[in-house]
A = this chain, B = another copy of it.
Amino acid sequence: MAKKISTEDKILKSAQEIFHHKGFEGARMQEIADKAEINKGLLHYYYKSKDKLFESVFNIALKQMLSKLNEVLREEIDLFTKIEKLVDSYITVLSINTFIPNFVFQEINRNPDFFIEKFRKFNTNEGIKVFEKQIEEETAKGTIIKIDSKQLIINIISMSIFPFMAKPMAIGILELTEKDYKKIIDDRKKLVAKFTINAIKK
């Protein structure tokens, strides 16, 4: 038998859909209530305010964006394998949650200073540190070219995330169909890693 979905879950799911597409300012509590098939009163019964509801949605989104990344970054595998795994699993995660990057960066930019602090304190950077060290070791050993570890990380992340954020522009300018676009994204799971390794290996 189908598991009964609680009202609270229905609200959260609806709120995610609306907030992800329209952002905090563009979202309407009425629209969220409609999508959840309840009324505004009940919405406020579960989540005291729009801010509170938004906070829940945002924190989940941030976690979806960072936890997988952090997980892979910490694994004890060799650099090239890690880059391959990183790109593949990250693009896979984002393929399921296509709207997350746009949503997250949009909201961060409404309040940049707050988030800089949040990232500094948060444990987001454990994985990054492990990865940075690993890059520096390989550079010292001479297996890869001399490159600033932060720059390399920025390159990998950029190529993995940006295509999701630029989807409508890419489709329009590169004259793609929805299917073309999907294919391109899927190909990137291998391509971005190859490209990166080509660029840095000696």
Please list the residues of chain A having a beta carbon within 8 angstroms of any beta carbon in chain B. Answer: 21-26, 99, 102, 105-106, 108-110, 112-113, 115-120, 122, 124-125, 128, 145, 147-148, 150-151, 153-155, 157-159, 161-163, 165-176, 184, 187-188, 191-192, 195-196, 198-200
Q: How far is the CA of A110 from the CA of B145 in the complex (A)?
A: 42
Which of A145, A151, A168, A184 has most B Cβ within 10 Å?
Answer: A168
Q: In the bound complex, do residue B106 and residue A172 qualify as a contact, i.e. CB atoms below 8 Å apart?
A: no
Chosen A-B contacts, 6 in total, with CB atoms closer than 8 Å, are A21-B109, A23-B23, A23-B26, A150-B174, A154-B159, A196-B199
Q: Out of B25, B105, B169, B170, name the residue touching A26 (CB < 8 Å).
A: B25
Interface of A is mostly: helix
Q: How far is the CA of A43 from the CA of B169 in the complex (A)?
A: 31
Taking CB atoms, residues of chain B closer than 8 Å to A187 are 148, 151
Q: Out of B99, B102, B110, B175, name the residue touching A120 (CB < 8 Å).
A: B175
Q: In the bound complex, do residue A145 and residue B184 qualify as a contact, i.e. CB atoms below 8 Å apart?
A: no
Q: In the bound complex, do residue A169 and residue B110 qualify as a contact, i.e. CB atoms below 8 Å apart?
A: no
Q: Out of B106, B128, B154, B167, name the residue touching A112 (CB < 8 Å).
A: B167
Taking CB atoms, residues of chain B closer than 8 Å to A125 are 173-175
A190 to chain B, nearest CB (A): 11
Q: In the bound complex, do residue B158 and residue A162 qualify as a contact, i.e. CB atoms below 8 Å apart?
A: yes
Taking CB atoms, residues of chain B closer than 8 Å to A168 are 108-109, 112-113, 115-116, 119
Q: In the bound complex, do residue A151 and residue B191 qualify as a contact, i.e. CB atoms below 8 Å apart?
A: yes
